[in-house]
């Protein structure tokens, strides 16, 4: 078994130097051994890679690695089964719901899930508990995905309120937009490089609609827009949100044909030289005029969704204040409570309007 076969099996002649380096010599020798004049019955050669697209074609010819088996990341039901396997010899509290946790861990591998259960057990031990409870799984997932909690970070009252408003904007849009994934929880506890996080529970799907991506961009704009509505100015806290929104908008225009002005055309993303592509093959695949049109479409999508986020959050301004107050008081609230606060603010507005009418 050869792991990370791409380290020696990259396409020959794809490097910057183009010389006959040690890697190519290793590949040539391996190919010769796999062909070989001597018999090698009973020996099966297996290899693994995350980048089959950069392997040398000679490796994939019949008689060599002629059968490819794709091992994707586990889906929801598979993650649930893996969590059950790693949890069976551990004492679980009555509030632990592995189905919820499997939905909350999309993109995790089997090793990630094993690590998640072990981290949850460590959190339980630190609490002095004899069983793993839901809070331990929540803390473990936050640590695995976002990093350790930054206990030493002290925010000023102004920064803490700005973070609460920012995350409140994300949370409200997640609840009210029609194509959003269900909201799981929102927190203003700093983890990793983030001062706060809004978590969703994405459904298992393999295709995504334009409306889904529109709502993703709108949600990403929610923190920035909420701060602008409440404080009247912007800060640097939305950098990651803008990066995510711009990336989605760019792919909508360039790869997924979701722009009326561009139409059904697709251009691949930029290739990295260190992944085996020749530097001389780099270059844009379209004219300067088309590049301007692509940029203008990305600009349009981002500004349309920012305006949409502004309209929604102005309508739900009372709910934004309620969510921010709850976050400042308790630091973490779940999606159901955010939905209740949104509904309570709507009911209050309706009662006030009825009183004015009378």
Task: Enumerate the active-site residues.
Answer: 167
Q: Which two tokens stand for residue 94?
A: 């009555």
DSSP symbol at 131: S
Q: What 3-state DSSP class applies to 347?
A: helix
Beta carbons of 198 and 167 less than 8 angstroms apart: yes
Q: What is the 3-state secondary structure (H, E, C) of 15-66?
A: CCCCCCCHHHHHHHHHHHHHHCCCCCCCCCCCECCCCHHHECHHHHCCCCCC
- Tell which residue, 171, 99, 80, 96, has the closest CA to residue 135: 96
Residue with the two structure tokens 């000023």: 156
Q: In angstroms, rounded to a whole number, what is the distance separating the alpha carbons of residues 165 and 187?
A: 11
Beta carbons of 241 and 230 less than 8 angstroms apart: no
Q: In angstroms, rounded to a whole number, what is the distance separating the alpha carbons of residues 254 and 270?
A: 11
- Taken as a whole, the chain contains a residue count of 358
- Helix 239-254 to helix 288-315 angle (10° resolution) is 130
How open is the CA angle 55-60-62, to the nearest 5 degrees?
A: 170
Residues 6 or more apart in contact with residue 32 via CB below 8 angstroms: none
> Residue 268: in which H helix or E strand, if any?
none
């Amino acid at each position: 078994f050869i792991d990370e076969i791409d380290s020696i099996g990259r396409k020959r002649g794809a490097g910057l130097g183009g010389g006959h380096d040690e890697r190519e010599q290793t590949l040539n020798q391996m190919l010769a051994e796999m062909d070989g004049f001597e018999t090698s019955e009973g020996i099966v050669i297996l290899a693994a890679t995350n980048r089959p697209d950069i392997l040398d074609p000679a490796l994939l010819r019949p008689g060599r690695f002629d059968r490819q088996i794709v091992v994707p990341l586990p889906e929801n039901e598979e993650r649930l089964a893996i969590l059950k396997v790693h949890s069976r010899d551990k004492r679980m509290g009555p509030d632990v719901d592995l189905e919820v946790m499997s939905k909350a861990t999309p993109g995790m591998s089997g090793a990630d899930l094993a690590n998640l259960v072990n981290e949850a057990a460590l959190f339980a031990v630190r609490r002095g508990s004899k069983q793993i409870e839901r809070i331990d799984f929540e803390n473990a997932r936050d640590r695995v995905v976002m990093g350790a909690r930054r206990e030493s970070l002290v925010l000023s009252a102004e920064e803490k309120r700005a973070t609460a408003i920012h995350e409140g904007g994300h949370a409200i849009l997640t609840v009210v937009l029609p194509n959003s994934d269900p909201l799981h929880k929102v927190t203003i506890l700093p983890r990793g490089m983030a001062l706060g996080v809004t978590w969703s529970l994405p459904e298992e799907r393999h295709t995504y609609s334009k409306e889904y991506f529109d709502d993703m961009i709108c949600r990403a704009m929610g923190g920035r827009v909420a701060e602008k509505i409440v404080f009247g100015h912007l800060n640097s806290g939305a950098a990651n949100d803008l990066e995510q929104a711009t990336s989605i908008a760019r792919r909508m225009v360039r790869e997924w044909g979701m722009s009326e002005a561009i139409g059904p055309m697709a251009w691949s993303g930029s290739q990295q030289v260190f992944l085996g592509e020749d530097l001389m093959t780099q270059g844009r695949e379209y004219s300067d005029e088309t590049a301007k049109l692509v940029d203008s479409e990305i600009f349009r999508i981002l500004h349309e969704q920012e305006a949409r986020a502004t309209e929604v959050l102005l309508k739900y301004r009372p709910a934004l204040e309620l969510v921010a107050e709850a976050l400042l008081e308790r630091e973490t609230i779940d999606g159901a409570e955010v939905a209740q606060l949104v509904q309570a603010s709507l009911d209050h507005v309706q009662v006030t309007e009825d009183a004015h009418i009378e």
